[in-house]
Amino acid sequence: MTLTTPQTDIVERIRTKQARIGIIGLGYVGLPLAVEFARAGFDVTGFDVDAVKNTQINAGRSFIPDVPDADVTALVAAGRLRATADMSQLGEMDAIDICVPTPLRKTKDPDLSYIVKAVEAVAASLRPGQLVILESTTYPGTTEEVVQPMLEAGGLKAEVDFLLAFSPERVDPGNAQHTTRTIPKVVGGLGPASTQAACALYATSVERVIPVSSTRVAEMVKLLENTFRAVNIGLVNEIALMSNKMDINVWEVIDAAGTKPFGFMPFYPGPGLGGHCIPIDPFYLSWKARQSGFECRFIELAGQVNSAMPEYVVQRVSDALNSVKKPINGSRIHLFGVAYKKDVGDVRESPALDIIELLVRRGAEVTYTDPYVPTLSHGGHDLESVPFDRAIASPYDCAVVATDHRAFDYARIAALPLLVDTRNALKGFAQPSIFRL
């Protein structure tokens, strides 16, 4: 295919590092991506409605643990990275990457409001030759059915006047081994020109780029990846419930099964799913499937099992308290960790939030310790993290390891009089006071 002049121009500007890059949404996905593009030599502007985030970035400070302050400071000082809430500047960008959240509504339907607002801002100043890429996780068809019509409403045509692609984010917060640079980037454009330009852009900052045939394929890739995890976690959570009934240590079972060099991949039970992807993405897929008249029974069953895990944790707390003849009502219960996974401060969809709410509803007095989450507001409850040393010395009726942060001293936690361990963080400790998932 012979590219038209605007398309040829964006590829050449990317090759020569003259392209100006705009990133909409400066969270766990957007900020690391902005830093990688700036580090590669591009002029990068981050766009976010949160003025506090913008101020921090412009002052050379990072609010994402995976992005060191030193990196932001150096790039801001070099004039290659800045942040703003002024969306009118999007018209000055050559390439625009949309990295906004895609939560679920209470009805478990997709909430595309953040995508819609971001695309509206892009459309307001869209000009010929621009490359627009959506990274936000969503259902197959979003780029063609939602984004493309909004951008074309002003008269410009995708794949002719401007380029449009989808590239699913694959960020794993807190993972130092697999980063934005090292995780392969899947890219699908509306057509060959869009795919070529988007691949050229990511190839400057990511070690491996994988082009696919369409935006729908790229959208489906992310949903498959996270649905795979959600279904397998649902399976192992059900095995954990079954093992408890049969008085079998599920953690020992998984460790032993994991020695098989083929045909088995270990997944681990836990208090429930959290984060911005795994608890949400399967619902995006099943919702879209229903629009096509297909019922995802297997996927939805896994979702039901995973969603019920916080209730099971509370039951284990009740079992632990019953062993010392105490009820949940009136008991002082302390959670170690409230983030959705270890060594991050993200509480989005964290099962600890549901555990807290369920315990409070049953009359418990709940506190928590989390070095990454200094304060917590949820369900009308405002809590502050209790320092670890003070938590260890406090007379709680029961403690719960809800998130296995490496910063915790588990030998000291294991010495507490009554514990529920939801993460197998106390592996190696065999006290009868420890109740495992």
Residue in this structure with the two tokens 């270990």, named with its chain if needed: 266
pLDDT at 3: 43
pLDDT at 56: 97
Question: What is d(CA 281, CA 23) in angstroms, rounded to the nearest whole number?
Answer: 22
Residues in the chain: 437
> Is there a single domain that holds both residue 182 and residue 228?
no
Question: What is d(CA 409, CA 109) in angstroms, rounded to the nearest whole number?
Answer: 41
pLDDT surpasses 50 at 375: yes
Q: Which residues contact 292 (CB under 8 A, 6 or more apart)?
A: none
Question: What is d(CA 174, CA 234) in angstroms, rounded to the nearest whole number?
Answer: 23
> Is there a single domain that holds both residue 86 and residue 56?
yes
pLDDT surpasses 70 at 1: no
> Is there a single domain that holds both residue 127 and residue 29?
yes
Sequence-ordered alpha helix ranges (H) in 87-207: 113-124, 142, 148-152, 192-203
Average per-residue pLDDT in the chain? 93
Residue in this structure with the two tokens 């003025």, named with its chain if needed: 51
pLDDT surpasses 80 at 415: yes
Tell me what the mean pLDDT of segment 355-383 comes to.
93
Give the residue numbers spanning the domain of 420.
Answer: 309-437
> Where is 187: in which H helix or E strand?
strand 185-189
pLDDT surpasses 80 at 379: no
> Is there a single domain that holds both residue 380 and residue 296?
no
> Is there a single domain that holds both residue 36 and residue 108?
yes
> Is there a single domain that holds both residue 122 and residue 165?
yes
Q: Which tens digits make up the pLDDT trace of 94-115?
A: 999 999 998 877 777 788 999 9
Burial of 379 (C-beta count, 10 Å sphere; 0-12/13-18/19+): exposed
pLDDT at 5: 53
> Is there a single domain that holds both residue 94 and residue 31?
yes
CATH code of 227's domain: 1.10.1040.10
Smallest Cα–Cα separation from 338: which of 311, 310, 372? Answer: 372
Smallest Cα–Cα separation from 26: which of 111, 101, 94? Answer: 101
Phi-psi region of 389 (alpha: psi -120 to 50; beta: other; left: phi over 0): alpha
CATH code of 174's domain: 3.40.50.720
Domain count along the chain: 3
Single out the residue in 213, 240, 274 at which a domain terminates. 213
Catalytic residue among 99, 199, 277, 398: 277
> Is there a single domain that holds both residue 327 and residue 418?
yes
Sequence-ordered alpha helix ranges (H) in 125-214: 142, 148-152, 192-203
Confidence of residue 278 (pLDDT cuts 50, 70, 90): low
Strand positions, DSSP E, 108-177: 131-134, 163-166
Instruction: Record the pTM.
Output: 0.89
Tell me what the mean pLDDT of segment 135-146 comes to.
94
**Burial per residue of 15-31, b for 16 or more beta-carbon CB atoms within 10 angstroms, e otherwise:** eeeebebbbbbbbbbbb
> Is there a single domain that holds both residue 58 and residue 147?
yes
Answer yes or no: are the C-beta atoms of 219 and 285 closer than 8 Å.
no
pLDDT at 171: 82
Single out the residue in 169, 191, 213 at which a domain terminates. 213
pLDDT surpasses 80 at 7: no
Question: What is d(CA 70, CA 72) in angstroms, rounded to the nearest whole number?
Answer: 6
Confidence of residue 199 (pLDDT cuts 50, 70, 90): very high
Lowest average pLDDT, out of 235-244, 257-266, 293-302, 327-336, goes to 293-302
> Is there a single domain that holds both residue 421 and residue 348?
yes
Q: Which tens digits make up the pLDDT trace of 43-76?
A: 999 999 999 999 999 999 999 888 999 999 999 9
Distance spanning both ends of the chain, measured CA to CA: 57
Report the 10 Å Cβ neighbour count for 137.
23
Q: Which amino acid is at 321?
A: L
Question: What is d(CA 409, CA 56) in angstroms, rounded to the nearest whole number?
Answer: 32
Tell me what the mean pLDDT of segment 131-153 comes to.
96
> Is there a single domain that holds both residue 157 and residue 86?
yes
Single out the residue in 307, 341, 367 at which a domain terminates. 307
Question: What is d(CA 351, CA 436) in angstroms, rounded to the nearest whole number?
Answer: 16
Q: What backbone phi and psi angles, to 5 degrees, belong to 14?
A: -65, -45
pLDDT at 130: 97
Determine what percent of the chain is predicted with pLDDT higher than 70: 97
pLDDT at 270: 95
> Is there a single domain that holds both residue 261 and residue 350?
no
Question: What is d(CA 112, CA 96) in angstroms, rounded to the nearest whole number?
Answer: 18
Is 398 a residue of the active site? no
